[in-house]
Amino acid sequence: MSVLLNETRVSLLTLARELGVHVSTVWRWSLRGVRGHQLKCFSLGGRRYTTRQAFTRFLAATNGERIVVGQTPRQRERAIDLAEKELDALGA
pLDDT at 76: 77
pLDDT at 49: 93
Q: Which domain holds residue 86?
A: 2-90
Confidence category of residue 70, pLDDT binned at 50, 70, 90: low
Query: What global pTM score does this model have?
Result: 0.65
Contact 42, 49 (CB under 8 A): yes
Based on the structure, what is the number of domains in the chain?
1
pLDDT at residue 40 greater than cutoff 90: yes
Q: Bridge partners of 37?
A: 34
Confidence category of residue 69, pLDDT binned at 50, 70, 90: low
In the sheet that holds 9-11, the strands lie side by side as 9-11, 47-51, 42-44
pLDDT tens, residue by residue, 29-39? 999 999 889 99
